[in-house]
Amino acid sequence: MQEKHTKIVKQTAAQLGFQYVGISKAAYLEEEAAHLEEWLKRDYHGKMGYMANHFDKRLDPTKLVEGAKSVISLLYNYHNPDKQSDPEAPKIAQYAYGKDYHWVIKDKLKAFVHILEEKIGAIHGRIFVDSAPVMERTWAAKSGLGWVGKHSLLINRQMGSFFFLAEIISDLELIPDGPIKDYCGTCTRCIDACPTDAIVADKVVDGSRCISYFTIELKNELPNDFAGQFENWMFGCDICQEVCPWNRFSKRHQEPLFEPHPDLLRKSKQEWTELTKEVFNELFRKSAVKRTKYTGLQRNIRFLEKKKNDLSEID
């Protein structure tokens, strides 16, 4: 029965457009507990207080889903090689080009569970898309979907790292897959390229120094110490992925909902500087960029104009 159900899971993942699927046994992540505790102790989570919440749930999937037996990990490609037409325009991370991935993938996961219940019968479980205390990269690595790179992101040998991770934790008894080896070797391109020195050790990122943290998570004024170091990123950052040799294998996504608004990549630096709230709402109507709000994006764009060590107030 386990073999039959595992086959159904993998067929369903392919049917719904997920590029890769892997399975792990739902068990306590003992090795990760010390790493997470140390990461929090060093305040690498910055102002992301939620990262310190639900410590036990992050490590034990049975505390998220009672009776959980398996963690199904899934990869969904979002790579879009198209760049903004004005090379001086403030930049936005690829993952936020189109419709908010939370909703796109959540709909697919709901369909996934529905198909499983049609073919297998009632199951007890929950779906996750970066929406709960789940150590998604750890679970994906345990199931053989890739390895955690020095930049702490999951890397897949066939498609690089431009993908979203999602999980279904359920009481289904499935055959687990095993992990693969780490193929980063001696490469340090991501570490060398990070302009804010956020990658402090192999697989350890000081989140409080990351450009994505500053431009999305941080709600306060941006610290003057980092003026001139954002390399023109106004929302998120793709630097560590762009320099990774494994992303030469990335292929353009096939998801229409991830296509950007027709005007998004055409806007000039001047147009971004003069962005109105109405245009913001139109460009990012169903986008993850809404998370930073119009005022937050304005703050980020203004900060990009500051020179390094310029301690003057932002008007």
Dump the DSSP string for 240-267.
HHHT-GGGGG------GGGSPPTTTTT-
CB–CB of 73/139 below 8 Å?
A: yes
What is the pLDDT at residue 307? 64
92-138 pLDDT, tens digit per residue, is 999 999 999 999 999 999 999 999 999 999 999 999 998 788 999 99
Query: Can you tell me the distance from the alpha carbon of 167 to that of 169, in angstroms, rounded to the nearest whole number?
Result: 6
Catalytic residue among 56, 82, 100, 130: 130
Q: Which of 139, 113, 107, 103 is nearest to 12 (CA)?
A: 113
243-289 pLDDT, tens digit per residue, is 999 999 999 999 999 999 999 999 999 999 999 999 999 999 999 99
Q: Is this structure's pTM higher than 0.85?
A: yes
Query: What are the residues facing 163 on neighbouring strands?
Result: 77
Note if 130 is an active site residue. Answer: yes
What is the pLDDT at residue 306? 81
